[in-house]
Amino acid sequence: MRRPDEIIAEMQAEKTKGIKCVCLVVAFEEHNDFILDSDAHALANLTELMETGGDPVGLFGVCGDGMFGFRPLKEHEKEDWIESFLQDVKENVSMIFSKAGYSFFDPKVN
């Protein structure tokens, strides 16, 4: 497993690709936590989540044109469950983006 600072760096690198807002999904056995790229304490929060059993699994993003998408972190790319897992948490992430003031559309729905 990568260090928290490496994962945060990957999340921040997405911003250089024209993505307005990025959200990291951290999975637990019974729930999920989310860290936005704008979180001033992203590294400390991710470190704490990982120390308490959280598994960073994927990134969601809103592009400049309003497109909404996601991808697994490289550690999970080949996992059979990751695509359906990220689809399942997509609604939660879309609410987080909406609360943060981002408007978007999901090309798989619209």
Domain count, the chain: 1
Question: What pLDDT was estimated at residue 103?
Answer: 64
Distance CA 66, CA 20 (A): 9
Distance CA 52, CA 56 (A): 12
Continuous segment of H or E residues that includes residue 32 = strand 32-36
Q: Is residue 105 part of a domain?
A: no
Question: What pLDDT was estimated at residue 65?
Answer: 74
Q: Which of 13-17, 29-33, 59-63, 99-103 has the lowest mean pLDDT?
A: 99-103
Q: Is residue 106 part of a domain?
A: no
Question: What pLDDT was estimated at residue 110?
Answer: 38
Q: Is residue 53 part of a domain?
A: yes
* Interval 43-53 mean pLDDT: 98
Name the pLDDT band for 6 (thresholds 50, 70, 90). very high
Q: Is residue 109 part of a domain?
A: no
Q: Which domain holds residue 55?
A: 4-99
Ramachandran category for residue 66: left, alpha or beta (phi over 0 → left; psi -120 to 50 → alpha): left
Whether the model pTM is above 0.75? yes
Q: Is residue 108 part of a domain?
A: no
The pair of structure tokens assigned to 6 is 């490496």
Q: Is residue 10 part of a domain?
A: yes
